[in-house]
Amino acid sequence: MTKDNFRAFVDDLPDLICRYRPDGLLLYVNDAYATFHGRSQSDLVGTSFLDLVPPEYQHEVDDSMQRVQRLNPDDPVIVNEHRALDSVGHIRWQQWTDKGVFDEEGSLTEVMAVGRDVTERRAAEEQATYLASHDPLTGLLNRRSALSRLERLLGTARRRGEQLALLYLDINDFKTINDKFGHAGGDRVLEEAAERMSAAFRSTDLVARIGGDEFVVVCPSVSSDDQLTPIVQRLTTTLAEPMLGLGDMSLSVSVGWILSDGSEPADDLLAQADREMYRAKTERSERKLGDQKSSAVAGSTS
């Protein structure tokens, strides 16, 4: 195959192919590379491909270039992935295989690179990662991810000598809600409750659904019940607002909370907060029962 025939063959390949100097100056690009960037081959040769990278993705390419600089005859190939903008402004993930070319002294003189689009694969991986760590109904973190994040937050509190608050929440009378509105209605209530909880807390707080109608919230840098009380009040107020489309119903929650300096394991702390929540729920049930008895007595004497 002649040199011209080989270049024609490379130009017909769908993969992006280029040669560049260690400083990023392009020595050759094939037609697919030029088409991706919406430029001609002659326009690109002699320019730096680093200038084609949007600022928000520059750090990804910088990491790749640091690896390129470490190429040597004993380890001449690297594979890396980074994002790029195509000719119409769409974000695409590319996987590049870079092979170094060296002189007789083993110094890197240029790099031959082949890139291919892996956007769909990356999207599938990101979706799988998201589903593994998030509750599919509400989009909140799931139990496993919440515990992992809580462990990290406890470590931070311990190092800084701070405290954090862990709240364990349970929607009151959720079975009655399911019986009245069906599972679809119950799911809508959970989704709405999750949205309202997320809005009620700070951006630095962690909100997660750990199963059923139970949620946890972690509030870093909270050192007293006095600091926590307005947060809980804001939560109960926002949940009490009517839920349109569901008979304008409002929600109430039983809340148990624990303050921690980070000395307890996440599992133990969660169990303590769970017990506090059930204590609050039991007290609520006893109050309701007491109110019913009082109403019966009042009714009989009126």
Residue range 130-150: average pLDDT? 94
| pLDDT at position 152 over 60 | yes
Domain of 116, CATH number, reads 3.30.450.20
CA 118/CA 95 separation, integer angstroms: 6
Pairing label, strands 91-102, 108-117? antiparallel
Do 105 and 13 have their domain in common? yes
Question: What is the pLDDT averaged over residues 34-59?
Answer: 93
Contact, 205 vs 228, CB < 8 A? Answer: no
Task: Output the pLDDT for position 121.
Answer: 95
User: 3-state SS string over 143-159?
Assistant: HHHHHHHHHHHHHHHHH
Does 118 share its domain with 225? no
213 is an active site residue: yes
Name the pLDDT band for 228 (thresholds 50, 70, 90). Answer: confident
Whether the per-residue pLDDT at 80 is higher than 60: the answer is yes
Calculate mean pLDDT across residues 20-36: 95
Number of structural domains (the chain) is 2
pLDDT at 297: 36
Identified catalytic residue from 117, 170, 213, 274: 213
Instruction: Say what the pLDDT of residue 285 is.
Output: 73
Determine the pLDDT at residue 32: 95
Q: What is the mean pLDDT of residues 36-61?
A: 93
- Model pLDDT for residues 107-123, shown as the tens digit of each residue: 999 999 999 999 999 99
Mean pLDDT of the region 42-67: 93
Pick the last residue of a domain from 103, 124, 145. 124
User: Chain-centre distance of CA 202, in angstroms?
Assistant: 17
Residues 188 and 274 in one domain: yes
Mean pLDDT of 41-48: 95
Average pLDDT over residues 170-184: 89
Q: Is residue 129 in a domain?
A: no
Answer yes or no: is 56 within a domain.
yes
Q: Do 161 and 255 lie in a common domain? A: yes
Strand-pairing partners, residue 110, are: 101
CB atoms within 10 A of CB 196: 18
19 vs 242, residue with greater confidence: 19
Burial class (CB in 10 A: 0-12, 13-18, 19+), 204: exposed
Averaged pLDDT, 47-52: 93
In this prediction, residue 40 carries a pLDDT of 95
pLDDT value at residue 142: 95
**Per-residue pLDDT, 225:** 83
Q: Using alpha carbons, select from 269, 177, 171 the residue that is nearest to residue 219.
A: 269
- Residue 14's domain spans which residues? 3-124
Which of 73, 119, 120 shows the shortest CA–CA distance to 92? 119
In a domain? residue 12: yes
